[in-house]
């Protein structure tokens, strides 16, 4: 298949692995079947821009960042932080406040150990 298909597929797999996400979870979050995700990751199939945008959204990043093939994927911690930030940004204000309080409690409990 096309070299670009392989590069995009490799990028998606690297991002997915960086956040410790299974193909099944990425499928749930993006609405793209696990079979199709597997083919994309192996470079056997190309994805439409709409599909790539849905995959990027599942990672909590933009399409530009997904297609930035010249950079290393973020560390797992950074990738998880980006994903959490995107989820908080998309949440209603009351939910975002509750999430922030939970994070404060969890981080505070971890610091006390």
Residue 33 token pair: 């079947």
For the cut 80, the answer to whether the pLDDT of residue 112 exceeds it is no
10-69 pLDDT, tens per residue?
A: 999 999 998 889 999 999 999 999 999 999 999 999 999 999 999 999 988 889 989 988
pLDDT attached to residue 90: 84
pLDDT attached to residue 16: 92
Q: What is the DSSP letter of 17?
A: H
**Mean pLDDT in residue range 101-108:** 81
54: left (phi over 0), alpha (psi -120 to 50) or beta: alpha
pLDDT attached to residue 109: 58
pLDDT attached to residue 110: 57
CA distances from 100 to 59, 76, 80 (A): 20, 20, 15
Question: In the chain, how many domains are there?
Answer: 1
Structural domain containing residue 93: 3-112
Q: Please, what's the b/e burial string for 62-95 (b: 16 or more CB within 10 A of its CB; e: otherwise)?
A: eeebbeeeeeebbeeeebbebbeebeeeeeeeee
Its pTM stands at 0.69
CA distances from 64 to 5, 73, 97, 110 (A): 16, 13, 29, 35
| Distance separating alpha carbons of residues 84 and 45, to the nearest angstrom | 29
Which CATH number is 82's domain given? 1.10.260.40
């Amino acid at each position: 298949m096309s070299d670009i298909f392989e590069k995009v597929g490799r990028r998606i797999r690297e991002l997915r692995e960086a956040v410790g996400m299974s193909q099944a979870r990425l499928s749930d979050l993006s609405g793209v079947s696990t079979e199709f995700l597997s083919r994309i990751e192996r470079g056997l199939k190309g994805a439409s821009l709409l599909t790539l945008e849905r995959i990027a959204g599942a990672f909590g990043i933009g399409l530009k960042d997904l297609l930035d093939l010249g950079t290393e994927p973020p560390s797992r911690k950074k990738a998880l932080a980006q994903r959490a930030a995107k989820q908080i940004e998309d949440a209603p204000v009351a939910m975002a406040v509750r999430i922030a309080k939970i994070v404060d409690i969890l981080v505070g409990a971890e610091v006390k150990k």
